[in-house]
């Protein structure tokens, strides 16, 4: 039954989200083609009414694109939250009359919501890259990543942990809304008012819990990397000395920066920053997942035992 619920959720939401995703990709492609043309027309000394009209249309399309990609993740989150809100309201009696447990309903909606929210973030990133591809966006990003990797920054581990953090933080946001909506009828006769109050309380509790968890989780990192930090402060020459030494070479900016980043001081600093970044990303992801579990259990409790559809 769980698979049927998941399939139904994806089918119901795909009718809303897929056209939005397609619109973002199409607008990105159109802007990638038209923005360079508009730039060339703008640089022309003999602009005509036609050129001005084309520039106006391109500008409107660019504004529409940026509005869409800016709002897309929020729209997806709002839609999945409204669907859950309605499932515990007017649609609740029909929905919960199906031969499925409350846990199955909650899990199906959570998996669907998480998938669409993460997909929205991916679509936004891909659309922005596509929109600026005519200006060398892919080359800039790939060049930056290659340069960072050449100086010893762990691009792949950090990228993986960042994606995990985004997914876990998104899951926490979704389940915070779900728990607030599930608890709402037991707080106030107004479901909307109760949901709002419950969400504010849950949000404060989540922020406090995550901050406390990160504070505790950072202690092992301070112990592990404290010696490196101490060396940078006391056992290396001052950073300005390295800058002066590289300045004395009389080289261009790019070569100057490359030489500076390859000093033993910069290598140690990059290693320290990389390790701290990985520890913080991992701790934040674990903290979000733990809080998500708490809100999932709260939602399941009120849906399974204390359900109130009034």
Q: Give the per-residue pLDDT at 253.
A: 45
Encode pLDDT of 31-79 as tens digits.
888 877 776 665 555 556 666 677 778 788 888 999 999 999 999 999 9
Please tell me the distance from the alpha carbon of residue 148 to that of residue 173, in angstroms, as a whole number: 32
Report yes or no: 191 and 84 within 8 Å, Cβ to Cβ: no
Encode pLDDT of 117-126 as tens digits.
999 999 999 9
Tokens matching residue 129: 């890259």
Specify the length of the chain in residues: 310
Q: Give the per-residue pLDDT at 71.
A: 93
Please tell me the distance from the alpha carbon of residue 162 to that of residue 158, in angstroms, as a whole number: 6
Q: Give the per-residue pLDDT at 234.
A: 45
Question: What are the C-alpha distances in Å from 30 to residues 34, 62, 271?
Answer: 6, 9, 42
For the chain, strand residue ranges (E) read none
DSSP 230-277: HIIIIIS--HHHHHHHHHTT---HHHHHHHHHTSHHHHHHHHHHHHHH
Least confident of 48-52, 139-143, 165-169: 48-52
pTM: 0.80
More confidently predicted of 68 and 309: 68
With the CA atoms of 58, 79, 15 and 93 taken in that order, what torsion angle do they form, in degrees rounded to the nearest 10?
A: -160
What would the mean pLDDT of 156-170 be, rounded to a whole number?
91
Least confident of 34-43, 182-191, 211-220: 34-43
Q: Give the per-residue pLDDT at 113.
A: 94
Q: Give the per-residue pLDDT at 188.
A: 78
Asked if the model's pLDDT at residue 284 lies above 60, the reply is yes
Please tell me the distance from the alpha carbon of residue 173 to that of residue 159, in angstroms, as a whole number: 21
More confidently predicted of 82 and 235: 82
Please tell me the distance from the alpha carbon of residue 195 to that of residue 87, in angstroms, as a whole number: 14
Q: Give the per-residue pLDDT at 286.
A: 93
3-class DSSP state of 292: helix
More confidently predicted of 23 and 221: 23
Task: Tell which residue, 212, 128, 210, has the closest CA to residue 173.
Answer: 210
Residue 218 CB-density burial (10 A; 0-12 exposed, 13-18 middle, 19+ buried): middle
Encode pLDDT of 97-117 as tens digits.
666 677 888 889 999 999 999
DSSP 99-133: SS-HHHHHHHHHHHHHHHHHHHHHHHHHHHHHHTG
Report yes or no: 209 and 291 within 8 Å, Cβ to Cβ: yes
């Amino acid at each position: 039954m769980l698979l049927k619920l998941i399939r139904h959720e994806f089918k119901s939401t795909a009718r809303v989200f897929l056209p939005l995703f397609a619109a973002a990709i199409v607008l990105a492609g159109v802007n990638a083609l038209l923005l360079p043309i508009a730039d060339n027309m703008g640089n022309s000394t003999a602009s005509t009414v036609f050129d001005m009209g084309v520039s106006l249309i391109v500008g409107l399309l660019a504004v529409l694109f940026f509005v869409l990609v800016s709002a897309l993740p929020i729209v997806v989150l709002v839609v999945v939250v409204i669907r859950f809100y309605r499932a515990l309201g007017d649609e609740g009696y029909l929905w919960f009359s199906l031969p499925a447990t409350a846990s199955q309903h909650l899990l199906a909606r959570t998996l669907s919501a998480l998938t669409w929210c993460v997909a929205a973030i991916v679509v936004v990133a891909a659309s922005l890259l596509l929109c600026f591809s005519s200006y060398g966006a892919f080359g800039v990003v790939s060049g930056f990543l290659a340069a960072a990797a050449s100086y010893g920054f762990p691009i792949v581990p950090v990228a993986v942990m960042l994606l995990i953090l985004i997914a876990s933080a998104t899951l926490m946001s979704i389940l915070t809304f779900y728990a607030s909506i599930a608890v709402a009828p037991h707080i106030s006769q107004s479901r909307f008012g109760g949901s709002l109050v419950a969400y504010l309380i849950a949000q404060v509790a989540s922020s406090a819990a995550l901050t406390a968890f990160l504070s505790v989780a950072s202690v092992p990192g301070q112990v592990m990397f404290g010696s490196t930090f101490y060396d940078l402060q006391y056992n290396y020459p001052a950073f300005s000395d390295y800058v002066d030494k590289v300045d004395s070479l009389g080289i261009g900016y790019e070569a100057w920066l490359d030489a500076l980043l390859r000093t033993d001081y910069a290598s140690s600093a990059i290693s320290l920053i990389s390790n701290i970044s990985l520890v913080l990303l991992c701790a934040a992801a674990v903290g979000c997942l733990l809080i998500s579990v708490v809100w999932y259990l709260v939602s399941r409790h009120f849906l399974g035992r204390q359900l109130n559809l009034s």
